[in-house]
Amino acid sequence: MKGRLSGVSYLSRFIVRQDRMRYLWWLAGIVIMTLIVPPALNELYPSQHDRDLMAETMKNPVMTAMVGPGDLANYTLGAMVSHQMLLMTAIAAAIMNILLTVRHTRSEEEDGQAELLRSLPIARHSQLTASMLVLFGVNLLLSVLIGAGLYNLSFDSMDLPGSLVYGASLGAVGLFFAGFTAVCSQLSDSSRGAVGLAFTGMIGCYLLRSGSERIPPFGWLAQVQPYSDNNWLPVWGLLAASVLLFMLAVILQGTRDMGSGLLPSRSGRAHASILLRHPIGLAWRLQRTAFISWSIGMLVLGLSYGSVLGDLDMFFKDNDMLASMIVADENSSLTAQFLPMLMAVLAFISTIPALLAIHKIAGEERKLRLDHLLGRAVSRKRLLVSYIVLALFTGFVMLNLSALGLWLAGTASMEDPFMFQTVWQASIVHFPAITVMIGISAALIGVAKKATGFVWLYLFYGFLTLYLGGLFQFPEWMEKLSPFGFVAKLPIEDMNWLYAGGSLTVTMILLIFGINRYTRRDIQDS
């Protein structure tokens, strides 16, 4: 092929061959997560009466803010699956597309691979076009697998039209964020900045969705209503928006130089800061922008969740049946009983930037940048400890900011607000579990940097068993396989110092093991 798209077909095949296993793992994870839910819900709520009771419970404003609106008047099994899982699965599809898009655009340009490819007879926009074509294929395959899989479960309320629109809506959201991230890759001059911009946009869209269904993509996603309205118009709108975003990315790419970004980079200092004399200062400098972005996001997320706390008691005030279904502690208010669940969700999200902070050292090693440091008077132990300290600090700060946001919004919306100490304790009690996750990452880095991806699967497992454990009635031992399963549910439970101390002990063992192995293994061939 000649002209502006010269080399697209070759580059597309090269991208698929290079990352075929990565696509396979992403697709398998999202599809399996989707298909295990309907049988579990059907077993838990076999009759329409059971589902109607669940629909009344889901009218809770907190749940509406978290999973979006649903067809609660006709809460069939299909409507229940769509209501409780579509938004969460769409977020997983968005994350997949953000990471894959940055990997094939800005990351390759940052590493010098794009420059090498452009020395071949390919057009200027061929690499970006090939990346978008591959991601179109990935999202199309995701749509087909989920649509066909849901229909083949053979539940009465999950017909073919509803299954197809369910799968198509997920693929459309994925393509939207692929196009959005392609634009972010043109704005930022680094992969780190592009990921930060894309995730900030995703979190912003999620938060704004609770205020208006007019804001794409999650606001439009709420209007699809698979197995109920089967509204295809938002799906086509998302696909059109994806095309426009891709076209914008192509235009922006043509206006900048390779290796640069359209957003101006702040001029550096004439002389290095005193912090850069130490590895921890360098680690902080590399991650400062991401840290600030995540801090703002966690504060805003806490504010978003806290703003609905004032409606809970009023919602259950005149409904004794629902109150009896939800109350687990007669000495605690309904709002106090929702607090541990909210803080657990915020704690899982707070774990993400902490893990990203320590995984940064594996990324620097993969890009062959550690040789410059380790060739000087910097030991491996000191270098890894610096990233561990930064990761622990990041997790601690994110928990505090989310607690602060929830308390501030709750104080404004509740007649009898929580004391800050109550909210802070319910949040900080998750810190030992976060340290265990950091310890696991450190151990994996010490053994083999390529194995660090498994910690994300473990984090997702913990979220699945704790967040959906009550819904699916998982046995208690499944929750205990995650460090978050040992966290005390403050304020309705007493603090369990034994579990907290045990988690910190496990963390120390993992950190010592990881540091010891890191100082012994080969930096290049692990």
Distance set, CA 164 to CA 39, 106, 150, 235 (Å): 18, 33, 9, 11
CA angle 238–289–363, rounded 5-degree value:
85
Instruction: Report which residue type is found at 285.
Output: R
For residue 340, what are its two tokens?
A: 């541990």
Q: Which residue has the tokens 């702040």?
A: 266
Q: Give the per-residue pLDDT at 450.
A: 73
For 171-209, what is the HEC assignment?
Answer: HHHHHHHHHHHHHHHHHCCCHHHHHHHHHHHHHHHHHHH
CA angle 257–263–265, rounded 5-degree value:
90
DSSP secondary structure of 252-280:
HHTTS-TT--SSPPPPPPSS--GGGGSHH
Please report which confidence band the pLDDT of residue 325 belongs to, taking 50, 70 and 90 as the band edges: very low
Cβ neighbours of residue 20 under 8 Å, at least 6 residues apart?
A: none
For residue 417, what are its two tokens?
A: 């607000």
Look up the pTM and report it.
0.77
Asked whether residue 430 carries a pLDDT value surpassing 90, the answer given is: yes
pLDDT tens-digit series, residues 381-391: 899 999 999 99
Asked whether residue 123 carries a pLDDT value surpassing 80, the answer given is: no
Q: Give the per-residue pLDDT at 327.
A: 44
pLDDT tens-digit series, residues 237-266: 999 999 999 999 999 998 888 777 888 766
**CB contact at 8 A, 92 and 214:** no
pLDDT tens-digit series, residues 134-143: 999 999 999 9
Q: How far apart are CA 59 and CA 319, in angstroms?
A: 12
For residue 127, what are its two tokens?
A: 């690499």
